[in-house]
Chains A and B, each alone.
Chain A
């Protein structure tokens, strides 16, 4: 865990890591390409994998934004812990709800 703040001495830039603008532009271009990919891929039918492919591309894009635009790659470990716990608790929410819906003996029915 982090040391008490007063004993922290930062060797890097005082205001945090400085990333070259070239990296930003490269990430931007990658994001644009991936957006095109997600649209193009949608033109093909992979059956149940459609969603997985779409989400895979979206997760890749989100990771690029988090790591580079949001500097997570250059941030203290604690930042990673915060991101990981947020994602983990969302996965818990989703997964445990789905244990109900996917193991129900019958589908939801509309009626009234």
Chain B
């Protein structure tokens, strides 16, 4: 019986090659160093083994030149590794602008995923090949970590925070999804798969399920149900700030600071409205912490994000078909 097993994990994302090239570079450099030391060690140990109990080797105190050499050369090589690594890390942390956003919620012990078009999946994610996918990751309980070895990406799901990661799948197939941060008893079963499909197959798959409610539509419904609209009116006569065209823009706060209205800011404004009050408004908004679930917040954020074009006449859901 000759058991076979792979030595290199599958490479199925655009960054996988980058990570592997860096990995190989470090492997070669460290390999050369290790081999050098091992060979020297063995050679010296054999060549200079003690031949008689009276052996007295010559005195050698050290050598400044040598010390400097083997301080500076590793230092320079490691600087290269660091800079290269930092470059890859930046790339891993910068989702492209055209990425489709998939929301990921870790919960002991499952992954809840939702497509921008509203399809929900559990422990399984279907994505089209060639399309950048941005993951907005959070957790409902302990810390988890979203790990897809074939894509070389990993990001912790931390309760109370949104982390982001992204990938662009390059090869159709099915790949492991692991939780890589220990989260309790069934941590090892908090696994799933990422199914990469050809774009047209993906469209078919999307169309296949029951017509889902997109997060934007769900958010709009919630927005009405919770009577948000009484204060956040599309004209500037409300008690709260106008939300149309807000997302992605800088906001001036009562404290004098300026923040960008991103997912985290909008989310915080829903759960703890008093934390960052917009300049010119009173802190009158009650908190919705506990009244809305994690997924509902995601829907609300998606809805507010969809309110991009400030046009007082048009009903807000009109631009929500973006994907």
A–B direct touch in complex (beta carbons closer than 8 A): yes
Q: Which residue numbers of A lie inside 8 Å of B, CB to CB? A: 105-112
Complex interface residues of chain B between 253 and 290 (CB less than 8 A to chain A): 262, 264-265, 267-268, 271-272, 275-276, 289
User: How far apart sit A108 and B265, CA to CA, in the bound complex (Å)?
Assistant: 10
Q: CB within 8 Å of A: which of B179-224?
A: none
Using known A-B contacts A106-B262, A107-B275, determine if residue A112 contacts B267 with beta carbons closer than 8 Å: no
B271 and A110 form a contact (CB under 8 A):
yes
Give chain A nearest CB distance to B43 CB in angstroms.
Answer: 39
CB distance from A44 to the nearest CB of B (A): 19
The reply to whether B267 and A107 contact each other, CB–CB distance below 8 Å, is: no
The reply on B161 being an interface residue by CB < 8 A is yes
A111 to B80 alpha-carbon distance, docked (Å) = 41
CB distance from A109 to the nearest CB of B (A): 5
Q: How far is the CB of A24 from chain B (nearest CB, A)?
A: 46
B140 touches A109 (CB 8 A): no
Closest residue of chain A to B297 (Cβ to Cβ) is A111
CA–CA, A6 to B221, complex, Å?
Answer: 84
- Taking a contact as CB atoms under 8 Å apart, the answer to whether A109 and B262 are in contact is no
| Contact residues in A for B297 (Cβ distance below 8 Å) | 111
Residues of A near B265 (CB, < 8 A) are: 106
Residues on B lying within 8 angstroms of A by beta carbon are 138, 140, 159-162, 262, 264-265, 267-268, 271-272, 275-276, 289, 294, 297
Cα-based distance from A39 to B262 in the complex (angstroms): 40
**Chain A's nearest CB lies how many Å from the CB of B272?**
6
Contact between A109 and B267 (Cβ–Cβ < 8 Å)?
yes
- Picked from A105, A106, A109, the residue with its CB within 8 Å of the CB of B271 is A109
> What is the minimal beta-carbon distance from B184 to any residue of chain A, in angstroms?
16
* Least CB separation from B269: chain A residue: A109
Task: List 18 additional A-B contacts (Cβ < 8 Å) besides A106-B161, A106-B264.
Answer: A105-B262, A107-B264, A107-B268, A107-B275, A107-B276, A108-B160, A109-B161, A109-B268, A109-B272, A110-B272, A110-B289, A111-B138, A111-B161, A111-B267, A111-B271, A111-B289, A111-B297, A112-B160
Q: Hey, which chain A residues are within 8 Å of B159, CB to CB?
A: 111-112
Docked Cα-Cα span, A112 to B297, in Å, equals: 11
The answer to whether A109 touches B289, judged by C-beta atoms less than 8 angstroms apart, is: no
Q: Please report the C-alpha to C-alpha distance between residue A107 and residue B161 in the assembled complex, in whole angstroms.
A: 9
Docked pose: A106 CA to B160 CA in angstroms: 12
Contacts of A110 in B (CB 8 A): 160, 271-272, 289
Q: List 8 A-B contacts (CB under 8 A).
A: A105-B262, A107-B268, A107-B276, A108-B161, A110-B271, A111-B138, A111-B161, A111-B294
Once the chains are docked, how many angstroms separate the CA of A105 from the CA of B161? 12
CB distance from A13 to the nearest CB of B (A): 44
Chain B residue contacts of A106, Cβ below 8 A: 161-162, 262, 264-265, 268
Bound form: Cα–Cα A105–B95 in Å: 15
Q: Which residues of A contact B289 (CB under 8 A)?
A: 110-111
Q: How far is B287's CA from A111's CA once the two chains are assembled, in angstroms?
A: 11
Query: Which B residues touch A107, using CB under 8 A?
Result: 264, 268, 275-276
Residues of A within 8 A of B161 (CB): 106, 108-109, 111
- Rounded to whole angstroms, the CA-CA distance of A110 and B160 in the bound complex is 5
Residue of A nearest to B138 (CB): A111
Name the A residues within 8 Å of B268 (CB-CB). Answer: 106-107, 109
Question: B271 contacts which chain A residues (CB < 8 A)?
Answer: 109-111
**Beta-carbon nearest neighbor of A107 in chain B:** B268
Q: How far is the CA of A108 from the CA of B289 in the complex (A)?
A: 15
B138, B264, B294, B297 pick with most chain A CB within 10 angstroms: B264
Question: What distance in Å separates the Cβ of B263 from its nearest Cβ neighbour in chain A?
Answer: 8
Q: Which of B140, B160, B297 has the most chain A CB atoms inside 10 A of its CB?
A: B160
What CA separation (Å) do A106 and B161 show in the bound complex?
Answer: 9
| Docked complex Cα distance between A106 and B159 (Å) | 14
